[in-house]
Homo-oligomer: A and B are copies of this chain.
Amino acid sequence: MAETNPSKTHNLRADGARLWATILETAAFGGTPAGGINRLTLSAEDGRVRDWFRDACEAAGLTVTVDALGTQYAVRPGRDMSRPPISFGSHLDTQPTGGKFDGVLGVLAGLEVMRSLNDAGLETEAPLMVVNWTNEEGSRFAPAMMASAAYAGDFTTDEILSKRDAAGITVAEALDAIGYRGAEDVGARAIGAFVELHIEQGPILEAEGKTIGVVEGGQGIMWFDGLITGFESHAGTTPMPRRRDALLALSEFALAAERIALAHAPSAVATIGEAQILAPSRNVVPGRVAFTVDVRDPRSPALDAMETSLREAATEIAERRRLEIALTRIWRKEPVPFDPAIVAAVDAAAESLGHARRRIISGAGHDACNLAAKVPTAMIFVPCKDGVSHNESESATPGDCAAGADVLLQTVLRLANAPRMEPPAR
């Protein structure tokens, strides 16, 4: 096989046109009239795109295996087969009204990396591996990102196999139905590093005119359930000062949550995504309102401070308005810092390619966030139109997709040809 002289690799590029063609070709598996994809995990459509991916990988000379949760691993040999493979990929499942890029880009760009290296006749020191993780989206089976979580040891394989969809079908049954319950133990395969290319699913890169986001980590998340208990009363007969209006209390709390997030700018976000007046009526002062709060920041201490501030706001509002505000934290996920060496490799690759770039934090969850607990990991973001994702109108340009694949390729070459890394103590 061919040589690895760096002077022969630094000008290597992915074939953006071929990548784009595979994106359009695979979009037909579950394609919707509106131009999106409905390809729920482990559905027949998911089975078909998995078959396509296996065949394409094998045609590129890769060795494809499947683990007990259906995750596909496609390996390209390296010169030193004792090194764990430098790995990359994402997921091929989609939301029920998903787009053509979320997850798909990362897997197909991974395939393109393999094809481009083949075209150039280049061998790497470490082997390479492209991965298609099962059920990133979580639309059919909860939790989302379940296969990567199981890989990282957050769940046992049996726990995941017994999860059921809304129709009562287990993950095990769904895997069997499409023939993707593999023999390989989940988490058994060593991974030297993991790099996930993904659309940003947010508006920052587009707004700032950047092509590449060098992702430094994933945010921490807190979810709260809230219930405001005031007093239902007649909209015509209850004077304003005597009201205990649960919606007005929610209004103040929502604006307080916005102020609290802005006080931790620019990284913090807080969202009241659900709010429901119980037994609403046009001429009744709302007595009870149930709501949710989603709070995120890449810094644990900021999460702590925001929780304290939210509780102080709730207490102040409840006392002043003579009602009760119950705020229950139902989930907290700590921030995920990506591996500095992998982040640096992404940054250097983007710089070498001359792409406008910025450091960024992933606002959404990704398989890479699970992997990071076990494997040196980072991500590459490219812009998506208007920040829209999880929508059939999700859109990214061929140029940005190609740029992301180029950065992935150059990152992978740097990592695979670098002196052997020891995993950091964790």
The answer to whether B203 touches A239 (Cβ under 8 A) is yes
The answer to whether A387 touches B234 (Cβ under 8 A) is yes
* Residues of the B chain whose Cβ atoms lie less than 8 Å from the Cβ of A242: 203, 207, 387
CB distance from A359 to the nearest CB of B (A): 14
**Residue of B whose beta carbon sits closest to that of A289:** B275
CB distance from A267 to the nearest CB of B (A): 9
* Residues of the B chain whose Cβ atoms lie less than 8 Å from the Cβ of A237: 200-204, 362-364, 387, 389
With A271-B283, A274-B280, A282-B294 as known contacts, state yes or no: A363 contacts B202, CB within 8 Å: no
CB distance from A212 to the nearest CB of B (A): 16
Distance of A223 Cα from B221 Cα, bound (Å)? 40
Distance of A363 Cα from B239 Cα, bound (Å)? 9
* Residues of the B chain whose Cβ atoms lie less than 8 Å from the Cβ of A168: none
Distance of A251 Cα from B248 Cα, bound (Å)? 7
Find residues 237-288 in chain A having any chain B CB closer than 8 Å to their own CB: 237-242, 245, 247-248, 250-252, 254-255, 258, 261-262, 265-266, 268-277, 280-286
* Residues of the B chain whose Cβ atoms lie less than 8 Å from the Cβ of A239: 202-204, 266, 269
Interface readout for A181-209 with B: 1 if CB under 8 Å, 0 if not? Answer: 00000000000000000001111100100
Distance of A266 Cα from B252 Cα, bound (Å)? 23
Among the listed B203, B221, B282, which residue makes an inter-chain contact with A238, where contact means beta carbons less than 8 Å apart? B203
Interface size (A, Cβ < 8 Å)? 60
CB distance from A236 to the nearest CB of B (A): 3
CB distance from A335 to the nearest CB of B (A): 12
Distance of A280 Cα from B238 Cα, bound (Å)? 30
CB distance from A200 to the nearest CB of B (A): 7
A390 lies within 8 A of chain B by Cβ: yes
The answer to whether B273 touches A285 (Cβ under 8 A) is yes
With A238-B363, A251-B255 as known contacts, state yes or no: A282 contacts B274, CB within 8 Å: yes
List the 8 closest pairs (A to B, CB-CB), nearest first: A202-B237, A237-B363, A236-B363, A251-B251, A235-B271, A274-B280, A251-B254, A282-B292
State the A residues within 8 Å of B (CB): 200-204, 207, 219, 221, 223, 233-242, 245, 247-248, 250-252, 254-255, 258, 261-262, 265-266, 268-277, 280-286, 292, 294, 296, 362-365, 387-390
What are 29 inter-chain pairs, A to B, with CB distance below 8 A?
A200-B237, A203-B242, A204-B239, A219-B236, A223-B282, A234-B389, A234-B390, A235-B271, A235-B296, A236-B294, A236-B296, A237-B362, A237-B364, A237-B389, A240-B258, A240-B262, A241-B262, A241-B266, A245-B271, A248-B254, A251-B254, A273-B277, A273-B280, A273-B285, A274-B280, A274-B281, A276-B276, A276-B277, A282-B294
